[in-house]
Amino acid sequence: MRRSVSFRLAFVVFALLAVAAASFAQLNVGVSVSFAPPELPVYEQPLCPGDGYIWTPGYWAWDGYDYYWVPGTWVLFPEPGFFWTPAWWGWGGHGYIFHAGYWGPRVGFYGGINYGYGYFGHGYEGGHWDHGHFFYNRTVNNINVTEIHNVYNTTIVNNYGHSRISYNGGRGGIEARATSEEEAALHDRHIPPVTAQIQHVDASRNNRELRASVNHGKPPIAATSRPGYLTEPSVVRAKEGRGYASDRPEKTLGFPGSAVHPKELPANSRMSSPNTGDAKQDRKFQQEQEKLYSKQTHERQQLQQKQEQEHQQYAQQQASKDKMQQLEQQHRQQTRAMAQHHYQQQVEMQQHQQPPRKYSSKGKP
């Protein structure tokens, strides 16, 4: 009996660890998006909830279809002496790649992005550790000194300007490279985002108002006092926000956000005919384009047939309303993923058709 209980406990612990690892893997995956995230919104930092909390700035994340805002929030440090290195986006040659944030004894490179409140592009000016206690710099943090006494005042000269650009490299991106100390920080021992942070990201992803396609770069929940507190009266709204991309997949493909099945998508559109001056090269590209067009049309038809068969099976089984809603949600995700994949294929074909561009060491064309 004891062995059985011990085995069950061990299995539960293993399962929880596996879920946590999988969640972090989703955050840490090198996602590549063909268009840049919106600018960083302007917002006020909420009051620090208590001693031991460290500010983690907000950022734009990607769910496979849309950018969504992860509000800035105060997080309890996982270990004394550790700092937070924010997540950031950087141009990778064919798209913008996501780099997840992490905890470590030093602040690493975060793209030179000016997140504010101590994260001005390099390092962290919001506080320091002293004999196991974190001391807050009041000039860049919103601190209640009647409750938190380990504070100091150091004026910070912001040499990085007031740019709201949220990505490094590429066209219009921040031109910054890692310092030798930031490169060395990559080899330190790191701790992934804590459970509260992962839950915070999940809650943000599931909040429709935080999607860039809805808030157009000005999220109504820009910052919170604690992770996941998205419905509290203390949430902070963005004062300003802009930069929502005009070259999103649904704009390029005429893709309606309400589409659930492939038949609800607009007709597959052909790309503009090439005109490079090389008749042979243009003819070859035109043939490749027609081949891709036929392939994508066939994939749409296949997915539509598959979804219709699943509808028929659920109807024969007299599935409940909840199960039917779950099926519709699954179909919506499948349709969006396919539309995004088709869009990416078209972008890559156009890039191959154009003469290759040279990039500087800073990643900017």
241 found inside a domain: no
Identify which of 67, 29, 58 has the alpha carbon closest to the alpha carbon of residue 249: 67
| Same-domain check for residues 266 and 217 | no
DSSP letter for 263, please. G
Q: What is the mean pLDDT of the segment spanning 209-222?
A: 93
pLDDT surpassing 50 at residue 15: no
What's the CA dihedral at 14, 16, 22, 27 to 10 degrees?
Answer: -140
Please give the structure tokens belonging to residue 157.
Answer: 């000269």
Per the model's pLDDT, the better-predicted residue between 189 and 364 turns out to be: 189
| Same-domain check for residues 91 and 126 | yes
Contacts of 154-163 with C-beta under 8 Å, sequence gap 24+, read 154/125, 156/118, 156/120, 156/125, 158/114, 158/120, 159/120, 160/112, 160/114, 160/120, 160/121, 160/122, 161/114, 162/114, 163/114
Length reported for the chain: 365
Is residue 34 within 8 Å of residue 339, measured between CB atoms? Answer: no
Identify which of 301, 275, 302, 270 has the alpha carbon closest to the alpha carbon of residue 288: 270
Q: Which domain holds residue 47?
A: 26-224
| Same-domain check for residues 217 and 173 | yes
| Same-domain check for residues 216 and 344 | no
| Same-domain check for residues 51 and 124 | yes
pLDDT of 322 reads: 85
Q: Report pLDDT digits (tens) over 60-70.
A: 999 877 899 99
Is residue 223 within 8 Å of residue 46, measured between CB atoms? Answer: yes
Per the model's pLDDT, the better-predicted residue between 99 and 328 turns out to be: 99
364 found inside a domain: no
Q: List, in order, residues 6 or more apart from 13 with CB less than 8 Å away.
A: none
pLDDT of 18 reads: 39
What integer best gives the mean pLDDT of the chain?
81
Chain mean position to CA 4? 42
DSSP letter for 103, please. E
| Same-domain check for residues 182 and 315 | no
Q: Report pLDDT digits (tens) over 106-121.
A: 999 999 999 999 999 9
pLDDT surpassing 60 at residue 361: no
343 found inside a domain: yes
Which of 118-132, 134-148, 256-270 is predicted with the least confidence, judged by mean pLDDT? 256-270
Half-sphere exposure of 319 (CA within 13 A, CB side): 15
Is residue 205 within 8 Å of residue 68, measured between CB atoms? Answer: yes
362 found inside a domain: no
pLDDT of 86 reads: 98
Q: What's the number of domains the chain is made of?
A: 2
pLDDT of 255 reads: 46
pLDDT surpassing 80 at residue 199: yes
Q: Report pLDDT digits (tens) over 158-198.
A: 655 567 899 999 888 999 999 999 999 999 999 999 999 99
pLDDT of 4 reads: 46
* 3-class DSSP state of 70: strand
Last residue of a domain, one of 191, 224, 257: 224
Q: Both ends of the chain: CA-CA distance in Å?
A: 67
Last residue of a domain, one of 190, 224, 258: 224
